[in-house]
Amino acid sequence: MLGRILRWGAFLGLVGFGLFWVTTSPKTVSIEDLAGLTSDAEDGELAFFAAGCASCHAAKGAEGASKLVLSGGQEFPSPFGTFIAPNISPDPVHGIGDWTQSQFASAVLKGTSPEGAHYFPAFPYSSYNKMSRQDVVNLFAYMQTLPPDATPNETHQVAFPFNIRRNLGGWKFLFLSEDWVADASTPELERGRYLVEALGHCAECHTPRNALGGLDKGNWMGGAPDPSGKGRVPAITSSQLGWNAADISEYLKSGFTPEFDTAGGHMVSVIENTARLSDEDRMAIAAYLLALP
Amino acid sequence: MRRSLIAVTAFALATGTVALAGGHGGNPAVKARNAHMSLYAFNLGILGDMAKGTTEYNADVASAAASDLATLAAFNQSNYWPEGTAEGEVEGSRAKAEIWTDGGGAIEKAKDLAVAAASLADVAGNGLEALQGGIGPAGAACGACHKAYRGAKQ
């Protein structure tokens, strides 16, 4: 009898481990997935600014042209530890200069490194996974034109158990989805949704998270504690923001609120990016936000 | 008796907290800072509404607002920023601790604003396009300081 229980126990344990192993295994994008796409570095520049890559991957305090040197090093405190942005300049040793297009796509769309490890979701692949394949290859082509930098990567300051990368497969299983959150009934709303939910990854800061760090989609863009632990990131739904489309578009262009206060903190970096979008794109973002209840 | 004492104490605490949050208590330096920022915003609002086309351009009004803005930006604010008034240290402050620790970076940013505001004051009366061209650098100077030195809303 006891032997039977033990055998069953071992069997179920193996099944459980097998399920864990399968559900937590890193996913990748293959060369075939990108077949037929021709990259355009110029279009990639727009994706680069819309996706805000430099806001996190430029060196701390970088301004102007030095924001295009993606040497990493900025620190991002969170309840799970402090993440340090890596070097994603085209340096072949310390950056991503020796990556293939499909390795880049796996990183951006699946959150999987070339070595086959999970990235921490501080890298917002839970938004970027909705990026079009075309934008991914364009972005890769553009980023290869940026200046290389040989700054070595720093190790994230993340404690047990969050430092076990395999477990991030479980996080992805629970929280990663390629579905859109909001409906979009017009081309403008679709464009706005793409800019907000995919490239702009606005929800990463403006939507609250559950205890495991998954986004609370029932409270979409409802505002959240600032990850630094001080203050709050404001709600940006139409009812809570109380701005019209022109107000939102102006803010994303000049940084001025309707009361002529200006953006502060990390949002200033965001506006340095959205200022480079077209008026149509800024109005599309406004339309999307105004359509949120 | 005891119950009413608790009620009175609770009421006193509650109103005290509300008064503090409303700024009737509050740190005078923080109040002065916030008031100064309100004056920036008021004058920028006059100029910004003209620049955006929300209100009609008026050279005299624009000149007056830009001139006041330049005067405000040239204030010697050294007494506004005593140590111990960073965010978390006193009520109502969103000033990051780096203001006092990063070796005068905030003062440099304040000087940048003074330069941008003076340039804006020089041109604000010269027509709508001149105003539109001058307000951008002033806004950028506001944003540059807020990016580095202003914490998130409480």
The answer for A221, left when phi > 0, alpha when psi is -120 to 50, beta otherwise, is left
Residues on chain A touching B139 (C-beta within 8 angstroms): 254-256, 262
User: A260 in contact with B at a CB cutoff of 8 Å?
Assistant: yes
Q: Are residues A58 and A100 in the same domain?
A: yes
A233: which strand partners? A224
Q: Are residues A165 and A66 in the same domain?
A: yes
Contact (Cβ atoms closer than 8 angstroms) between residue A220 and residue A238: no
Q: Are residues A36 and A131 in the same domain?
A: yes
Pair of tokens at residue B35:
């008031």
Contact (Cβ atoms closer than 8 angstroms) between residue A268 and residue A61: no
Instruction: Look at chain A and report how many structural domains it folds into.
Output: 2
Question: Sorting pLDDT into bands at 50, 70 and 90, what band is B1?
Answer: very low
Q: Are residues A216 and A160 in the same domain?
A: no
The residue that leads in pLDDT, B4 or A87, is A87
| A204 CB-near residues (< 8 Å, 6+ apart) | A124, A126, A127, A215
Query: Do you know the residue count of chain B?
Result: 154
Q: Are residues A71 and A199 in the same domain?
A: no
The residue that leads in pLDDT, B9 or B144, is B144
Is A85 inside a domain boundary? Answer: yes
Residues on chain A touching B99 (C-beta within 8 angstroms): none
Q: Are residues A45 and A119 in the same domain?
A: yes
Secondary structure in 3-state letters for chain A: CHHHHHHHHHHHHHHHHHHHHHHCCCCCCCCHHHCCCCCCHHHHHHHHHHHCHHHHHCCCCCCHHHHHCCCCCCEEEECCEEEECCCCCCCCCCCCCCCCHHHHHHHHHHCECCCCCECCCCCCHHHHCCCCHHHHHHHHHHHCCCCCCCCCCCCCEECCCCCCHHHHHHHHHHHCCCCCCCCCCCHHHHHHHHHHHHHCCCHHHHCCECCCCCECHHHCCCCEECCCCCCEECCCCHHHHCCCHHHHHHHHHHCECCCCCECCCHHHHHHHHHCCCCHHHHHHHHHHHHHCC
Q: What is the pLDDT of residues A155-176, one digit of tens each?
A: 999 998 899 999 999 999 999 9
A205: containing domain:
180-293
Of A228, A232, A264, the CB nearest to B147: A264
CATH code: domain of residue A136: 1.10.760.10
- Residue that is last in its domain, among A143, A178, A213: A178
Indicate whether A66 pLDDT > 60. yes
Q: What is the pLDDT of residue B3?
A: 55
Indicate whether B60 pLDDT > 50. yes
| A38 CB-near residues (< 8 Å, 6+ apart) | A137
Q: What is the pLDDT of residue B11?
A: 45
Q: What is the mean pLDDT of chain A?
A: 94
Contact (Cβ atoms closer than 8 angstroms) between residue A148 and residue A91: yes
Of A61, A259, A262, the CB nearest to B146: A262
Q: What is the pLDDT of residues B73-82, one digit of tens each?
A: 999 999 999 9
B87: which strand partners? B90
| Exposure on the CB side of residue A244, measured as CA atoms within 13 A | 1
Is A7 inside a domain boundary? Answer: no
Contact (Cβ atoms closer than 8 angstroms) between residue A201 and residue A128: yes
**What count of CB pairs under 8 Å joins A to B?**
68
Question: Sorting pLDDT into bands at 50, 70 and 90, what band is A126?
Answer: very high
Contacts 24+ apart (CB under 8 A), B28-32: B29/B79, B29/B80, B29/B81, B29/B82, B29/B85, B30/B85, B30/B90, B30/B91, B30/B92, B30/B93, B30/B95, B31/B92, B32/B80
Contact call for B152 and A230, based on CB within 8 A: yes
Q: Look up residue B79 and give its DSSP letter.
A: G
Q: Are residues A172 and A216 in the same domain?
A: no
| A85 CB-near residues (< 8 Å, 6+ apart) | A56, A57, A72, A73, A74, A75, A76
Indicate whether B20 pLDDT > 50. no
Q: Are residues A138 and A57 in the same domain?
A: yes
Question: Sorting pLDDT into bands at 50, 70 and 90, what band is A231?
Answer: confident
Q: What is the pLDDT of residue B19?
A: 40
Q: What is the mean pLDDT of residues A13-27?
A: 85
Contact call for B143 and A260, based on CB within 8 A: no
| A137 CB-near residues (< 8 Å, 6+ apart) | A34, A37, A38, A39, A44, A101, A105
Is A135 inside a domain boundary? Answer: yes
Question: Sorting pLDDT into bands at 50, 70 and 90, what band is B146?
Answer: very high
Query: Do you know the residue count of chain A?
Result: 293
Indicate whether B12 pLDDT > 50. no
Q: Are residues A284 and A159 in the same domain?
A: no
Contact call for B147 and A260, based on CB within 8 A: no
Rg of chain A over CA atoms, in angstroms? 20
| Exposure on the CB side of residue A119, measured as CA atoms within 13 A | 25
Residue A28 has a CB neighbour count (10 Å cut-off) of: 17
Indicate whether A102 pLDDT > 70. yes
Q: What is the pLDDT of residue A104?
A: 98
Contact call for B139 and A256, based on CB within 8 A: yes
Indicate whether B10 pLDDT > 70. no
Give the CATH class of B27-149. Answer: mainly alpha
Contact (Cβ atoms closer than 8 angstroms) between residue A166 and residue A118: yes
Pairing status of strand A232-233 against strand A157-158:
unpaired
Q: What is the pLDDT of residues A182-203, one digit of tens each?
A: 999 999 999 999 999 999 999 9
Contact call for A255 and B45, based on CB within 8 A: no
Is A52 inside a domain boundary? Answer: yes
Contact call for A255 and B150, based on CB within 8 A: no
Pair of tokens at residue B38:
């309100």
CATH code: domain of residue A283: 1.10.760
- Residue that is last in its domain, among A178, A205, A227: A178
Residues on chain B touching A246 (C-beta within 8 angstroms): 52
Q: What is the mean pLDDT of residues A81-109?
A: 97
Q: What is the pLDDT of residue B16?
A: 42
Q: Are residues A166 and A206 in the same domain?
A: no
Q: What is the mean pLDDT of residues A94-109?
A: 98
Q: What does the domain layout of chain B look like in residue ranges?
A: 27-149
Q: Are residues A238 and A133 in the same domain?
A: no
Q: What is the pLDDT of residues B85-118, one digit of tens each?
A: 999 999 989 999 999 998 889 999 999 999 999 9
* H or E element at residue B12: helix B2-21
- Confidence check on the interface: ipTM exceeds 0.90, yes or no: no
- Residue that is last in its domain, among A178, A209, A229: A178
**What single letter denotes the amino acid at residue B50?**
M
Q: What is the pLDDT of residue B9?
A: 47
Pairing status of strand A81-84 against strand A157-158:
antiparallel
Q: Are residues A259 and A164 in the same domain?
A: no
Question: Sorting pLDDT into bands at 50, 70 and 90, what band is B2?
Answer: low
Indicate whether A228 pLDDT > 80. no
Pairing status of strand A232-233 against strand A81-84:
unpaired
Q: What is the pLDDT of residue B17?
A: 42
